[in-house]
Amino acid sequence: MAQTTLKSRSRQIYKPKLARQVKEKVIEFILFLAAFSSVATTVAILYILIKESFLFFQEVPIVDFLTGTKWTPLFVNPQYGILPLLSGTLMSAGVALAVAIPMGTIAAIYLSEFATKRVREIAKPALELLAAIPTVVYGYFALLYVTPFLQNFFPKLPGFNILAAGLVMGLMIIPFISSISEDAMSAVPVGLREGSYAMGATKLQTALKVVFSAAISGISSSYILGTSRAVGETMIVAIAAGLRPNLTWNPFDQAATITAFIVQVSLGDLPHGTIAYQTIFAAGLTLVLMTLLLNIIGHFLAKTYREIY
Amino acid sequence: MVINNSHEQITSIPKAEVADLDFYYGSFHALKGINMTLPEHSVTALIGPSGCGKTTFLRCFNRMHDLYPGNRYEGSIWLDKDTNILGRKVDPIEVRMRISMVFQRPNPFPKSIYENVAYGLRVRGENNRRLMDEKIEDALRVSALWDEVKDRLNESAYNLSGGQQQRLCIARALVADPEIVLFDEPTSALDPIATASIEELMSTLKDRVTILIVTHSMQQAARISDHTAFMYLGELIEFGRTKDVFNKPLNQQTEDYISGRIG
Amino acid sequence: MPTTNLRKLRTNLNRRKLINSGFAFLGATIIAIAIIILLGLTLKMAFQGAERITPEFFTSFPSRRASRAGILSAWVGTCLVMLVTAMAAIPLGVASGIYLEEYAKKNWLADLIEINVTNLAGVPSIIYGLLALGLFVYELRLGQSILSAGLTLALLILPVVIVTTRESIRAIPNSLREASYALGASKWQTIWDHILPYSFGSILTGVIIGLSRAIGETAPIITIGALTFIAFLPKSPFKSEFPFLSFEWLQAPFTVMPIQMFNWVSRPQAAFEINAAAAGTVLIGMTLGINAIAIFLRYQLRKDIKW
């Protein structure tokens, strides 16, 4: 077909009015400032944590902080070894993940590959509810319902313990793992699934051998997210796992986590500028570095998994 | 519509026979009263304009439509005269173990080359490494890929070119000794050179298996197939030896399509 | 196919199908168990707290006597803090979302902001509390006030607002943008006259979900040192003389629902457990109520969308 060309005989060039241009630029700049506020938030977090921690580490040698086995900053003779708080944090997170990773993964596989549309439409929002319940309510559950229930089986279980807090926290974390993993699995192209079914595979074989491995990087990032939730969770452990720092690897014990310690100190009236005030920032910095480390591991894992294929 | 497809009798043994097949996507009547035989150890091509139902028809053979809700078959496809593929009691997984498929776009799994081919054996619970090695080498040789990949079987399948990936998918489909292999426009996503190598491969495969191929290209059908079926608007218009269908079509629509007036 | 082969194939297939069904059952059971446990615990708490949930419970201040203690200051505090949170998070988050989606060029600065938003979503909430303690309470001298708490929670839900804004904007078909530009509209006119009005509903849904998360947040508010025994209400935001609005309440000390509940949970007396259960039930009710509004909005919205 012949192409029709329209040549404008008299092309008049309208220059955009200066005022309009300026207005557009000003608006863009304001929007940019808003977007940049997230960077400012990160910088502010790091600034506050590092500033107070710096003051803290002028009093406390960093080696003592990292290797000390006693955490008694509020005693007359204070000691600042982070290990007891670290063990409490890792143990409660460990119990939670032992619940949430298997349950969340199986739920995700079920929802993505097995459930009918109807079941999925009901089960997904129902699972999301687990993450919508306020954590202080979960803490109440753990302290007043789950611990007494567990004491039926383990009479020696103390009123504050890692186990109950961890189990309840695991319940809370399930939807973080199941929904991200499910998204990752649903994003696997239909062609791969059909390729597997065409070979005579069952749903489970397709799900485990093809879909799961194709979605592994998304699934692993759901594990990382779940882990950083567990490590950073505060109210459940502060209420149900106790506030006494305790270097233990026994989930039947009580132990304070890093977050629980920050809560405990905040509940008292701590004068600004004292070393006790600075401890919570040093503890907070430790927590941030842990989540940062997790994220780096996550990136690394996702990358190596991708490189295998 | 009176359908005239009485070409001269096809003499080879039928591997499958389609009888009064209707297929529905929900309320959409996609295939209408199809009758056809699939001759053993030969290549049968399905041609027709897009939307005519050729891919839908192909996917009936391995019950792929069962994966999605709302699809319904009527009629039957007899495999070896004794198993009705579409029978209610017949397990679609069993059908797919006997009839495998190669797709339009190469769809290797995100696994190594070796594991891709091994998959068909692994889903059957095969673990004997020596037996698997043998079968995989054989399948890769038949698919004319062995020489290119034998030194890098543990590399990702995604490192292969498009044509190599499609040959890998063919090896994957062949490894567990299927009786029929379905090809759904296997070269439409490939360049001409890769297409030529797949076409060449196809003619050597028919000693092992029966082939049913959907193709968008009449030239391809003419080059590689022994029999051709022309479909239009969900109906089988004409079926016969390829040379007969192309040289002396009995039906006006077939002639129109072959001469480029529709499609 | 020889019959022996076929028989072998079928035995193998039956075994695989059994495992398959077993897994399907396991998956359904696990989901059911998780939901049933949550339901059971919630109902148990609701029954335990039921006797305390009376009109007086909502109109009384906390008290040393469990049976007379109520949540008046807590729910008023929660409402005021949420007001500040919404006022801060909505403009900031929506503006960021618009910038990232419509203006940002593909460069390191945009990448930096984007990575930042993702990372902020993963920062533990108590860290926001430490930020607020150091920055709002001491450096900016806002004190342990409703303003500090509201801003803290606003920062906390900012990533949620940004992400939903971006998704809502992205869902608007490009043809609408082009139609606007073709009529001679500028970029901002296109955004203000078309993109924002069309995505308003889904942005609102996201904001509400963010607020429902903020309502239950306890840790960051404890960290800024919120008092837990508050037997008075902040000054009313309305007054009789000009300009009829007062902002004194922003500086007032306060308590919120989850803090009140935490306070009662940590009391040794068993009588306060009932108060905690009652407060917990009300808190869950508020959270679910807000979520229900969001779900309803989303449903209405889906009905209205024509493109």
Both A41 and A93 in one domain: the answer is no
Instruction: Give yes or no: residues A22 and A112 share one domain.
Output: no
Do residues A133 and A25 both lie within one domain? no
Helix axes C196-215, C146-170, angle to 10 degrees: 140
When CB atoms are compared, the residue of A28, A130, A266 closest to C222 is A266
Residues of C in contact with B179 (CB under 8 A): 1
Confidence of residue A262 (pLDDT cuts 50, 70, 90): very high
**CB under 8 Å to C306, separation ≥6 — which residues?**
none
Q: Are A31 and A100 contained in the same domain?
A: no
**Minimal CA separation from C90 to chain B, in Å:** 42
Partners for B (CB, 8 Å, 3+ pairs)? A, C
Chosen for mutation from B80, B90, B97, B128 (greatest number of chain C CBs closer than 10 Å) is B97
Residues of C in contact with B124 (CB under 8 A): 9, 12
- Same domain, yes or no, for A144 and A16? no
B38 to chain C, closest Cα gap in Å: 16
Q: Is the pLDDT higher at C229 or at C260?
A: C260
Interchain proximity A137–C95, CB inside 8 Å: no
Asked if B60 and B73 count as a contact pair (C-beta separation under 8 A), the reply is yes
| Ordered DSSP codes for C80-109 | HHHHHHHHHHHHHHHHHHHIIIII--SSHH
**What residue segments make up the domains of chain C, in order of their start?**
3-50, 55-304
Mean pLDDT in residue range A97-123: 94
Do A267 and A166 belong together in one domain? yes
How many Cβ atoms sit within 10 Å of the Cβ of residue B183?
27
CA end-to-end span of chain A: 48
Which residue in B has a C-alpha nearest to residue C10's C-alpha?
B94
In chain B, what percentage of residues exceed pLDDT 70?
A: 95
Same domain, yes or no: A28 and A98: no
Confidence of residue A1 (pLDDT cuts 50, 70, 90): very low
Alpha helices in C239-270 (DSSP H): 257-265
pLDDT at C244 over 70: no
Q: Is residue A125 part of a domain?
A: yes
Contacts of B64 in chain A (CB under 8 A): 194, 197-198
CB nearest B109 (choices: A195, A200, A202): A195
Q: Hey, CA dihedral for B83, B87, B88, B90, is it positive or negative? A: positive
Say how far apart CA B80 and CA B63 lie, in whole Å.
17
| DSSP single-letter state for residue B206 | T
Among the listed residues A157, A160, A175, the one whose alpha carbon sits nearest the alpha carbon of residue A88: A160
Cβ contact A127–C31 (<8 Å): yes
* Chain C residue with the nearest C-alpha to that of B180: C1
Nearest residue in chain A measured CA to CA from C127:
A284
Select from B157, B183, B160, B172 the least CA-distant residue to B102: B183
Substitution target from A112, A193, A199, A304 for chain B, most B beta carbons within 10 A: A199
> Across the interface, which of B80, B93, B123 has its CB nearest the CB of C1?
B80
pTM, 2 dp = 0.85
Contact between chains at A106 and C96 (C-beta distance less than 8 A): no
Closest chain B C-alpha to A302 CA, distance in angstroms: 14
Q: Is residue A76 part of a domain?
A: no
Contact B156 A200 (CB under 8 A): no
Residues A96 and A42 in one domain: no
> In residues, how long is chain B?
263
Domain membership of residue A152 as a residue range: 83-308
**C193 contacts C185 by C-beta, under 8 angstroms:** yes
User: Closest partner residue to C219 among A133, A146, A235, by Cβ?
Assistant: A235
Output phi, psi for B201, to 5 deg. Answer: -60, -40
State whether C126 and A232 contact (CB < 8 Å). yes
- For chain C, list the contacting chains (3+ Cβ pairs, <8 Å): A, B
Q: Which residues contact A235 (CB under 8 A, 6 or more apart)?
A: A135, A136, A138, A139, A263, C218, C219, C258, C262
In the predicted structure, residue A6 carries a pLDDT above the cut 50: no
Q: Which residue of A has its CA nearest to B117?
A: A199
At residue B74 the predicted structure's pLDDT band, cuts being 50, 70 and 90, is very high
CB contact under 8 A, A192 and B109: yes
Strand order across the B180-184 sheet = B99-102, B180-184, B210-214, B43-47, B227-232, B235-241
Contacts of A9 (CB under 8 A, 6+ apart): none
> From CA A118, how far away is CA A148, in angstroms rounded?
37
Helix (H, G, I), strand (E, B), or coil: what is residue B255?
A: helix
B147–chain C nearest CA distance, Å = 31
Residues of C in contact with B123 (CB under 8 A): 16
- Average pLDDT of chain B is 89
**Has residue A73 been placed in a domain?**
no
- Do the Cβ atoms of C96 and A31 come within 8 Å? yes
CA–CA gap between residue C282 and residue C287 (Å, rounded): 9
**Cβ pair B125:C12 closer than 8 A:** yes
Q: What is the reported pLDDT for C227?
A: 62
C127 at A interface, C-beta within 8 A: yes
Place of tokens 């129902």: A126
Domains in chain A: how many in total? Answer: 2
Calculate the alpha carbon distances from B119 to A205, B136, B182 in Å: 10, 10, 18
Residue B105 sits at the chain A interface (C-beta within 8 Å): yes
* The predicted structure's pLDDT at residue C306: 56
Q: What is the ipTM of this complex?
A: 0.89
Q: What is the pLDDT of residues B131-183, one digit of tens each?
A: 999 999 999 999 989 999 999 999 989 899 999 999 999 999 999 889 999 99
What pLDDT sits at residue C243? 67
Q: Is residue A170 part of a domain?
A: yes
Residue B6 clears pLDDT 70, i.e. is over it? no
Is residue A72, in this structure, part of any structural domain at all? no
* B124/A200 touch (CB, cutoff 8 Å), yes or no: yes
Each residue's pLDDT tens digit, A15-38: 556 777 888 889 999 999 999 999
Say which CATH number the domain at A90 has. 1.10.3720.10
Model confidence band, residue C246 (pLDDT cutoffs 50, 70, 90) = low
Tell me what percent of the residues of chain A surpass a pLDDT of 90. 58
Q: Which residue in the block uniquely carries the two structure tokens 């809700």?
A: B69
C-alpha dihedral (C12, C13, C16, C20), degrees to nearest 10: -170
pLDDT at C91: 94
Q: What is the pLDDT, as a whole number, of residue C228? A: 62
A41 with C223: Cβ contact below 8 A: no
CA distance A286 to chain C (A): 11
Contact B109 A308 (CB under 8 A): no
Range A43-47, long-range pairs (CB < 8 A, 24+ positions): A44/C131, A44/C135, A45/A288, A45/C123, A45/C127, A45/C128, A45/C130, A45/C131, A46/A288
Tokens of B40: 């053993």
Chain C residues lying within 8 Å of A272, measured CB to CB: 138
Contact across the interface for A36 and C219, Cβ inside 8 Å: no
Q: What number is the average pLDDT over the span C107-132?
A: 88
- Same domain (yes/no): A152, A300: yes
Question: Which of B94, B125, B179 comes nearest C10 by C-beta?
Answer: B94
The residues, any chain, with a CB within 8 Å of residue C149's CB and separated by 6 or more, are: C81, C84, C132, C221, C224, C226, C254, C256
Query: Tell me, what's the pLDDT at B2?
Result: 41
Which range, A302-306, B7-11, B121-125, has the best average confidence (pLDDT)?
A: B121-125
Fold exhibited by the domain C55-304: MetI-like fold (1.10.3720)
User: Chain C: nearest CA to B216, how far in angstroms?
Assistant: 32
Cα distances from B128 to residues A239, B97, B117, B132, C285, in angstroms, run: 55, 19, 14, 6, 59
> Looking at the structure, do residues A226 and A302 belong to the same domain, yes or no?
yes
Domain co-membership, A52 together with A93: no
> What backbone phi and psi angles, to 5 degrees, belong to C275?
-60, -45
Angle between helices C196-215 and C271-304 (to 10 degrees): 170
A87 and A232 assigned to the same domain: yes
Pairing assessment for the beta strands B227-232 and B43-47 based on DSSP bridges: parallel
> Coil, strand, or helix at residue B124?
coil
Is 50 exceeded by the pLDDT of residue A7? no
Put simply, the answer to whether B179 touches C1 (Cβ < 8 Å) is yes
pLDDT tens, B218-230?
Answer: 889 999 999 999 9
In a domain, A89, yes or no: yes
Instruction: Give the whole-angstrom CA distance, residue A107 versus residue C305.
Output: 32
CB contact under 8 A, B107 and A308: no
Strands B43-47 and B71-79: unpaired
Q: Which residues of B touch A195 (CB under 8 A)?
A: 103, 107-109, 169, 172
Contact present, A81 and A70 (Cβ < 8 Å): yes
Supply the pLDDT for residue A5: 45
How confident is the prediction for chain C on average, in pLDDT? Answer: 86
Query: What's the mean pLDDT in A259-281?
Result: 85
pLDDT (mean) for A147-175: 94
The pLDDT assigned to A51 comes to 93
Q: What pLDDT is recorded for position B137?
A: 95
- Written as one string, the DSSP assignment of B56-101 is HHHHHHTTGGGGSTTEEEEEEEEETTTEETT-TTS-HHHHHHHEEE
How sure is the predictor about A4, in pLDDT bands with cuts at 50, 70 and 90? very low
pLDDT in tens, C30-77: 999 999 999 999 999 999 988 888 888 888 888 777 778 888 888 988
